[in-house]
A = this chain, B = another copy of it.
Amino acid sequence: MTEQMSTSTRDRLTTATAELMRAQGYSATSVKQITVAARAPMGSLYHHFPEGKPQLAAAALRTSGAAYIQLLPLLMDPYDDLRDAVPAAFDAAAEQIEQTGWINMCPVGTVAGEVADSEPGLREVAAEVIAFWIDEGTDYLTSRGLATVDARELILAILSALEGAFVLSRTLRSAEPLHAAGRAMAARVEAMVAVR
């Protein structure tokens, strides 16, 4: 009934890793930092993740990546018209990141950029996560009335613009890039529904 600490050591490790990588990326995050943040001893880390830091980072990317894409329907469902839903999602992301002190919502983009040419195993995991985003996003946009080819085309542009605008907004400490990116994506939707 109390349930005061239901999280397992393993879960605390993956969560702490995701949180730290969200702010610092992969290379700058040390296993020492992770064990302190997760209140777990070194030995537990290598018990649960025998291959060490890369394996732990992979688990963290998979978990947070799966959670991240669920925001898409959550933010867009309230709007009947896709032309309103898409920019609204960008505006919500802008508000969120501004209120949380410009920390990224998800570590996948940052880590992907870091490891794309240096850590082959992690790059593959990031690619799996992004491919999952594309598939889920395509399904969702199809359910919102787009043809499958249009849905895939649009989700690719949305994910690109969102990830890039996050980098610009975090760096500039300004929501302007996220809002501009959202309006651009609204124009893309408009062009798609206009051709019908």
Contacts and interface: CB of A to CB of B under 8 A. Distances in A.
A163 B168 contact: yes
Contact of A112 (B130, B159, B167, B185): B167
B168 A184 contact: no
Q: A-side binding surface: helix, strand, loop or mixed?
A: helix
A42 interface: no
A40 interface: no
A4 interface: no
Interface in A91-141: 101-104, 109-110, 112-114, 116-118, 123, 126-127, 130-131
Interface string A20-31: 000111111000
Interface stretch (A8-16, A43-51, A69-77, A170-178): A170-178
B102 A170 contact: no
Contact of A28 (B112, B114, B127, B161): B114
Given A28-B27, A156-B177, A184 B185 contact: yes
Interface of A: 23-28, 101-104, 109-110, 112-114, 116-118, 123, 126-127, 130-131, 153-154, 156-157, 159-168, 170-173, 176-178, 180-181, 183-185, 187-188, 190-191
